[in-house]
Amino acid sequence: MSTGGKETPVLGREASIQNAEARKRRIGILLSGRGSNFLAIAGSIRAGRLPGVEIAVVISNVAEAPGLAAARDLDLPTAVFVSKGRKRAEHDADVTACLQSHQVDLVCLAGYMRLLSPSFIAAFPHRILNIHPSLLPAFPGLEAQEQAFAYGVKVAGCTVHFVDEELDHGSIVVQRAIPVLDSDDAESLAHRILAEEHIAYTEAIRLVASGEYEIRGRRYVKRTS
């Protein structure tokens, strides 16, 4: 964000998590499939690795998503808004209203296979996180692990970033890197990256939920005072 050519930091405490002292930080999970990252987040909350954080609602655009069934098994609030055949803006308006009705502070995309509309992003400024299975800005888009393996990189990994209106583009919060082994194939590399995703997402939520950060240009910076 800039004003008159001078960079203006976005304060995490003000722009991300509001009124957090009075209650737990409430996160909304959006998923389309099995929800392995959602289950990792839920496990971290149960294990005490995310103190002061709770899952407010799990939402899917696919009624049969296994992650949705897993959320119900955990007795978490769930909602379904089937996206097939609907205009994106109309669908996103329903999802936005649901998140707001559950007083969600932070939205976490966990295998949510849809591009978000500008109005959705505007409703949660610097309050939407996504995880991507590459070290962005390398290999954005689908099948990132396969892209990285085919390119012959020696280091791969994952990125948790804020969501903006461009694909896999927002400010980076956490990255975790692993070496690509000579014994790897695309499938084994994807499996090892997924294990890092489960660690990285918990770390990113903890950092963002603290509110102790600023966004300077594209950079996530921890506040020191």
The catalytic residues are: 132
Sheet architecture: strand order including 106-109? 10-11, 213-216, 219-222, 172-179, 155-162, 128-132, 106-109, 25-31, 53-60, 78-80
Beta-carbon count within 10 A of 137 CB: 11
Is the CB of residue 114 less than 8 Å from the CB of residue 32? Answer: yes
| Cα distance between residue 149 and residue 184, in whole Å | 9
Cis peptide preceding 137, ω within 30 of 0: yes
C-beta neighbour count of 147 within 10 angstroms: 18
Dist CA 77 CA 27 (whole Å): 12
CB 106 within 8 A of CB 208: yes
